[in-house]
Structure 1
Amino acid sequence: MDEETHNKKWKITHRKIQEIVFHLLKEHPIKEISVSQVCKKANINRSTFYDHFEDIYELFDVTQLNKRKELFASFIKQSNPQEKFSFYDLQSLTQFLTFIKENGWIYSIVLKSRQDFPITEGFEELYKVLIDPLKKKRPELTDNELAYYFIAFQSSFTFILKRWSDNDYREKEKEIAAILINSMPLILKNKQR
């Protein structure tokens, strides 16, 4: 087997393992999913699994990161390219929340696992939208200070979404958007003026 064929098969197996664990996560928490279970569903042996991932938790981290990136890219593609998306605008944020609600089962899985901040992987675009303009407007702020503002935004945003998810997305998107905007750190809101 040539190297190109090997790489293609490796990528297919890698993706297949991630899809299997993601579907298992719909019904089971991560702590109840075993390597044996994934191997059986993927029709691979344990050594193949360990060629791809160190353990179930690394698999989960990689899988949810890829899903988050995939969903964000899909959202951007669905958005009107002529309209600039803004986290400070009720209409833009409502549109984003509608997208989250439509993909609620995925976000429920991701939000249940979120425990640490800042979330860096997969949030590069959000950092650019929120922090880069603030950095230009307020050059006296250090990178460390900016990181704290980003963490404040991220943690409140994430836990508001988690509560919404836990409530089965009962509240209207516009209502949650207003709550998110009102809970945003003042320094981030003031940068828009």
Structure 2
Amino acid sequence: MSSSLRTLLENPQLAQQLLSEAQTRGFVTAMAAAPHLINPSEWLAFMWGGEETSPFNSQEDLEVYANAIIDLWNESREALLEGSWHWPEGCSLDDKELVSSDTRDFAEGLLQGWQLSRDDWETIMPEESENNALLGGVLLCFSLLYDPENAMEALSQEGADGLAQFEEIFASVPTMLCGLTIRAYQLVNEDEAEA
């Protein structure tokens, strides 16, 4: 994440109005993974709660923010399609809380972003398709990471060693998310070639 974006996110006047750094990363990652490219002008306002008016005091700050978000999107998209995406710094497991607050916030941001591209995902990977299992697996992982307490309880009820399963889930997310993005990219290109 660029220092200019981090500075804006840490600004006390903006911090209450913008998604946190980890939520921002999660949301932008969801947009970067989306099967069809969605123009940032269509989703940027969700970064500050969907309000029509941005919380920035100057047009210059808004432009710095928007450009930094687009740079982050480009980095994320490239890493996802290359299969080199990894958890951002600060996202980790935690002995006491199961996951770090950054992991939970990242998962929350990604799930929020996914809602904006949900129709595209459901069109390209319909419910009965083989690809839908991959999509469902990724969404389940992020849901579990967002709400780890209930996830541990559910895993324990299934007779699984919850903590070991959790470590496995966390470790598998980068591979699964890259695989999902690459598969969606292939499906979109196949559809366009047939059209």
The two structures have a TM-score, normalised by structure 2, of 0.32
The two structures have a TM-score, normalised by structure 1, of 0.32
Choose 1 or 2 for highest CA Rg. Answer: 1
Higher relative contact order (CA 8 A, sep 6+): 2
